[in-house]
Amino acid sequence: MVPSEVVVSPETQLQYRIERMLGEGGFGQVFLATRLGRSAVVPEIVCIKVSARIDGWLREAYFGQLLDGHPRAIRVFDTFPLVRPGGEVLYCLTLEYARHGDLSAFLSRAGKGWNETTAIATSHRSTSSSATAAISSSETSASCVSKAINAGSPHTR
């Protein structure tokens, strides 16, 4: 995919214009994209994660559905295969864009861990004792999958 390319989801008929690459890794590439047209559900700015591997795509799409609506999970708005000229199939996920980057980058910019009061309050708000978020299988989508995952974090123990 290249900047200004428009991809269309055959599932939802939504169109997305690729703006720029955010990163890449073993499971694919992640792009910042703009949704074209109207949608009551999908925000205007999203991430599109693209992979040639169906296994990781299926797993991430499954966990996106499983965790849909959880306040600490990145939302998955659209899942679709994209057939390129020449027959190559790319598997796409349209994800919520986490503008602050991945969790480790956010914490390093903060400069320090949480104080005890914040850590205790955060851990009590947690809905379970383990992290409950869709964790991506590659570093590339870290910029898309990084809400503050507090449950089970070393900062809350």
Q: What is the pLDDT of residues 7-24, one digit of tens each?
A: 999 999 999 999 999 999
The pLDDT assigned to 123 comes to 65
How far apart, in whole angstroms, are the C-alpha atoms of residue 31 and residue 8? 15
Mean pLDDT of the chain: 79
Rg, Å, the chain Cα set: 17
How far apart, in whole angstroms, are the C-alpha atoms of residue 63 and residue 146? 15
Confidence of residue 39 (pLDDT cuts 50, 70, 90): very high
- The CA–CA distances, whole Å, from 5 to 8, 31, 33, 140 equal 10, 11, 10, 20
Q: What is the pLDDT of residues 100-128, one digit of tens each?
A: 777 777 777 776 666 777 777 766 654 44
Domains, the chain, ranges and CATH?
6-156 (1.10.510.10)
